[in-house]
Amino acid sequence: MWNEQNLINLLSERIKNNCSKYTGCIPNAVANREGRYECQTGGHWTDGFWPGMLLLANVCKKDDVYIQEFEKYIPFFEERVANDPEVNAINGYIGLDHDVGFIFHLTAVFHFRLTGSAVSEKISLQAADALAARFQERGAFIRAWNDWEHDTPEFRELKKGKAIIDSLMNLPLLYWASRHTGEVRYAQIASCHANTLMRNIVREDGSTYHTFQFDPATGEPKGGKTAQGYADDSCWSRGQAWALYGLALNYRHSSDEQMLATALRCAEYWQRSLLPNGDAPWDFAAPRTERLPIDTSAMAIAACGLLELASLLPERSDLLQLARATVRRLIDAHLAPASLEPNAFLLHGCVGPSYFKGSQEEATGEYGYGTDQPLIYGDYFFYEALLRLNNSSVVLPWF
């Protein structure tokens, strides 16, 4: 049976071996079912997770090879944060949206904190400005997605009033920028957005909508929608994990007791909604058939959130116990076996929408791309959870 330190050593060595496999490229968000990632050609919201793992490994193992490999990516992040749309178009990058923190907080901000790099400092502040610029005064929220080529005119209009649960994990970038520059506007935007989501995207029972719609003209709340969950009024498990971890992190930065209380409600909903074996289904309201996909990435994110809450509420020993049980379940049932020589850490992730309603997949019971596959962000948060469990004082990018 794996213990935490032995597994950290194995995964840290796998990260080192992956350096020669990726040779400076960014791996795809989704690996094949054997646990191998290919390299992507353009930008994506997941760009920060592999380079971010290099920095986590450096903090853990004190081996310069990890930070030296990370620094090969600095020119990529300089281009990625460029404000000039022509630069981004030439390089094939998707425009920056609400996920700016995932890309740059785990990388440039953390690298600056670890090394004092002036280049990473500049990238970090540009990223914070890009995220702050998405704040909508009407409705008091940070706008979610950009326009995409295949959008209908109606959907483009709706996007002007759309907020998303994932954004809670990106707000630490703004809190960092506020501390670093002394400009309170960054923290004010972060706090205002978090409070808007607490009121609208978190339900009374502690469950969450994936996205929430506001009237683009007036900011009036209109209701919840899903893009990756089972239904608009269901609870997508990865979104729930983003909420419980994101709100706990926001409390750490803001000391807003309502954020802590809401994070705890989200955690309690998570706990009572798991499958009997401790797995998280892709959506907590999806029909619990034999072929119901689970999402190990949601479990890894939730484990980190539970560990954060446990550190804030030491009297709640149940939170630490649940985090440990979740990590143990991931190790015992979902670890990518070394015999496959994988790049990935965890199998059985789910991107969603994983149940294609009305399609051949539904008729046959088969699921499509992005189900039952490793996910780069699942690997990142699994590694983070192991580091947290093994060393409560480990340096993390979030603070």
Residues designated as active site:
99, 166
CA distances 122 to 1, 118, 133, Å, are 45, 6, 17
CA geometry: angle at 63 spanning 57 and 64, to 5°?
Answer: 105
Q: Output the 3-class SS for 10-28.
A: HHHHHHHHHHHHHCCCCEC
- Which of 155, 151, 76, 157 shows the shortest CA–CA distance to 111? 76
Q: Which of 216, 210, 213, 214 is nearest to 232 (CA)?
A: 210
